[in-house]
């Protein structure tokens, strides 16, 4: 009998941590933290007590809600291997170091972080590897972010497929997700993020964003794009590079995007990214999209006082586009650009990512215009009135409802367990699939049992 227990991402998004076990073996799938706006992050429920007994850990991708507590299980006594792809290790290292600056050693220490990195074992796609006695795994390209993987586990002859976070649309850096075509998968553990919605293909938000940038320029304004540093930023950079390479537009890139760009540069070859973007860069005679001549990284090489420089950027006469973290406007250099530029009704604030409730980005999207930038100073922040236009562009890094259903029907596993989605989203998918499948939507700390 195989048992699957949810320590996070059950009827919610955040702190993914899934325990798969039988009487002899315990394997953890992902181990993240739940980031909450203006509140401390939350660890997965009950993971620590199992950490010393784990026989292996498998990681789908680097996003913090899937990796943020990995040093925590090391602190709690896990001494075995943590399996992931090479890009996932490099990205996770950056994200975890950054988290130490934000929350300190609340969940784990810097020493725990170094120990975690020492325990990683790195793998390529489509190559089986041993996880524990009688248990092997294989990574498949999930198309979500650089290095993201869905995981096929051969559990002593019983096949379990964990989707992780998957993208069913082609994006600038990635083709659509890949999944196994074997006929006898016993259990599918599937994300349910977009179970209630289908979004337009990527050409629609791409075109809308580019068209609006031109319109804003004709009015004399600037386009300010708050974006997630990992994945979405590089996608937007590729869109802008293709449209504006060699044009009069200057594209400024600020914040942690620059660190993530360095990782994308290291892994910019056909094993990890789409051949289409590689060929385009060769045609343009550039190494990566963000090497286009009109891209300017904002760093200390430009000016000692970066806020003064940011003020100059957002108010200069020539047309420009600004990409900066954070994507939900909770902090980072984006606050400088809002402080200096959001008063201008000719400017555009272009939201390209999902805005979680209680974030500044969500408040602005919902119509709030008198806001406080808490990270602006150590005196309680700065109050500003937003007069710029605000628009949201419907990008998503997750499988759309119809495409997810098609994949699950193609795999045709008898047992499906939905994770990483709200209850109503998972329930909608369950109803769409009908009574042919044994479908579970577990709660936190609930265990689902499957006979071999």
Instruction: Out of 392, 422, 440, pick the residue that ends a domain.
Output: 392
Phi first, then psi, for residue 318 (nearest 5°) are -75, 155
Collapsed DSSP state (helix, strand, coil) of residue 429 = helix
193 and 399 Cβ atoms separated by less than 8 Å = yes
Verify that 82 and 153 share a domain, yes or no: yes
- The CA distance from 184 to 158, in Å, is 8
How far from each other are the two terminal CA atoms of the chain, in whole angstroms? 5
The secondary structure of 292-322, three-state, reads CCCEEECCCCCCCCHHHHHHHHHHCCCCEEE
Res 110: pLDDT: 96
pTM of this prediction exceeds 0.85:
yes
Indicate whether 35 and 108 sit together in one domain: yes
Expressed as residue numbers, the domain containing 334 is 203-392
- The angle formed by the CA atoms of residues 446, 451 and 452, to the nearest 5 degrees, is 130
Residue where a domain stops, chosen among 347, 364, 392: 392
Q: How many domains does the chain have?
A: 2
Task: Say which CATH number the domain at 385 has.
Answer: 3.40.50.10890
Tell me the pLDDT of the chain (452 aa) as tens digits: 999 999 999 999 999 999 999 999 999 999 999 998 888 999 999 999 999 999 999 999 999 999 999 999 999 999 999 999 999 999 999 999 999 998 999 999 999 999 999 999 999 999 999 999 999 999 999 999 999 999 999 999 999 999 999 998 899 999 999 999 898 999 999 999 998 887 767 677 888 999 999 999 999 999 999 999 999 999 999 999 999 988 889 999 999 999 999 999 999 999 999 999 999 999 999 999 999 999 999 987 777 788 899 999 999 988 899 999 999 999 999 999 999 999 999 999 999 988 888 999 999 999 999 999 987 665 667 899 999 999 999 888 888 899 999 999 999 999 999 999 999 999 999 999 999 999 999 999 999 999 87
Question: Of the residues 369, 392, 415, which one is the last residue of a structural domain?
Answer: 392
- Co-location of 406 and 381 in the same domain: no
Give the CATH number of the domain where residue 137 resides: 3.60.15.10
Q: How far is CA 237 from the centre of its chain?
A: 16
Q: How many whole angstroms separate alpha carbon 260 and alpha carbon 273?
A: 15
Residues 49 and 129 in one domain: yes
Q: What pLDDT score does 379 carry?
A: 60
Q: Which helix (H) or strand (E) holds 405?
A: helix 401-411
Q: Rounded to an integer, what distance in angstroms lies between the CA atom of residue 147 and that of residue 115?
A: 21
What is the dihedral sign for C-alpha 429, 430, 431, 437?
Answer: positive
Residue the block writes with tokens 């248990």? 135
Q: How far is CA 209 from CA 81, 183, 239, 385, in A?
A: 43, 42, 9, 24
Verify that 168 and 245 share a domain, yes or no: no
Q: Which parts of 223-359 fold into alpha helices (H)? A: 232-244, 257-266, 275-284, 306-315, 334-341
């Amino acid at each position: 009998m195989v048992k699957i227990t949810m320590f996070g991402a059950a009827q919610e998004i955040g702190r993914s941590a899934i325990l798969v076990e039988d009487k002899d073996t315990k394997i953890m799938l992902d181990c993240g933290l739940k980031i909450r706006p203006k509140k401390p992050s939350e660890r997965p429920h009950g993971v620590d007590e199992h950490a010393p007994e784990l026989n292996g850990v498998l990681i789908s991708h680097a996003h913090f809600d899937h990796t943020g507590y990995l040093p925590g299980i090391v602190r709690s006594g896990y001494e075995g291997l943590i399996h992931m792809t090479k890009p996932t290790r490099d990205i996770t290292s950056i994200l975890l170091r950054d988290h130490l600056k934000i929350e300190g050693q609340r969940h784990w220490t810097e020493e725990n972080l170094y120990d975690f990195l020492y325990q990683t074992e790195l793998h390529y796609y489509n190559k089986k590897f041993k996880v524990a006695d009688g248990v092997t795994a294989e990574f498949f390209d999930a198309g979500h972010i650089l290095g993201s993987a869905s995981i096929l586990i051969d559990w002593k002859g019983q096949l379990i497929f964990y989707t992780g976070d998957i993208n069913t649309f082609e994006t600038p850096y990635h083709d659509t997700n890949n999944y196994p075509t074997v006929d006898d998968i016993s259990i599918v553990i599937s994300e349910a993020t977009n179970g209630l919605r289908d979004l337009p293909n990527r050409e629609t938000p791409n075109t809308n964003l580019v068209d609006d940038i031109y319109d804003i320029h004709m009015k004399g304004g600037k386009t300010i794009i708050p974006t997630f540093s990992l994945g979405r930023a590089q996608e937007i950079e590729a869109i802008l590079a293709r449209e504006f390479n060699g044009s009069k537009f200057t594209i400024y890139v600020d914040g942690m995007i620059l660190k993530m760009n360095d990782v994308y540069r290291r892994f910019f070859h056909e094993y990890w990214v789409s051949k289409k973007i590689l060929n385009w860069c060769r045609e343009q005679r550039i190494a990566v999209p963000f090497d286009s001549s009109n891209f300017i990284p904002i760093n200390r090489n430009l000016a000692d006082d970066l806020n003064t420089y940011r003020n100059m950027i957002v108010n200069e006469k020539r047309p420009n586009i600004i990409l900066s973290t954070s994507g939900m406007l909770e902090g980072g250099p984006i606050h400088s650009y809002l402080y200096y530029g959001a008063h201008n009704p000719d400017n555009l604030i272009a939201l390209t990512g999902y805005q979680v409730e209680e974030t500044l980005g969500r408040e602005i999207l919902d119509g709030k215009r008198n806001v406080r930038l808490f990270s602006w100073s150590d005196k309680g922040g700065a109050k500003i009135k937003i007069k710029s236009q605000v628009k949201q562009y419907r990008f998503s890094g997750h499988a759309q409802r119809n495409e997810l259903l098609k994949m699950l029907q193609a795999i045709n596993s008898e047992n499906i367990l939905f994770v990483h989605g709200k209850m109503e989203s998972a329930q909608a998918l369950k109803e769409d699939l009908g009574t042919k499948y044994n479908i579970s939507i577990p709660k936190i700390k609930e265990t689902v049992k499957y006979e071999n």
